[in-house]
Amino acid sequence: MNKQLLVAQLIEKLESSARTAETESDAAAIEARDGATPGERVENSRTALEFSRISRAQALRAKEIRTAIAALKKFEPRPLGAHARVELGALVEVEDESGQGQTLFLAPFGAGEELIGPGGDGFFKVVTPQSPIGSAVLGKREGEGASARIRGELREWTVLWVG
């Protein structure tokens, strides 16, 4: 499978998130500046201050996403052969203790995003090495087990396939 298509799709999703954060930052800045009359601002300065904080937070979020996008544009996951260990850029099929399977894409950014394979061929959940499941499967091979605590609960998976 061409993993660059997955990276391009992830970049597209993050671009959308960055645009949303920038729009929200601008809207909050306008509300902080123009949302009340001068008299109302004196009386209720906390509202303007809160909108100002929201604006800064959204601007920071947009900047972080743009940094991630720049890094993803340079990211070139390599194809993995049989018996490969899970590494950054790997596609990993796992099954949990209840038999529920999912396919993961281990990327440097974009945790939680869901990607669709080329031609609609499957769904891939993006995990990062910093996420519990991403760090649990990193370095594992087909047939090995992985475990991690998620929200205080121990979860276990078996690596079924690495590609």
DSSP string, 34-89: HSS-HHHHHHTHHHHHHHHHHHHHHHHHHHHHHHHHHHHHH--PPP--TTPPP-TT
Task: Domain ranges for the chain, please list them.
Answer: 3-74, 91-162
Confidence (pLDDT) at 139? 97
> Which fold does the domain 91-162 belong to in CATH?
Chitinase A; domain 3 (3.10.50)
pLDDT one-digit tens code per residue, 63-104: 999 999 999 999 999 999 888 999 999 999 999 999 999 999
Q: Minimal CA–CA distance to 6: which of 92, 131, 81?
A: 92
Check residue 32 and give its pLDDT.
81
Q: Which residue type is seen at 78?
A: R
pLDDT at 119: 77
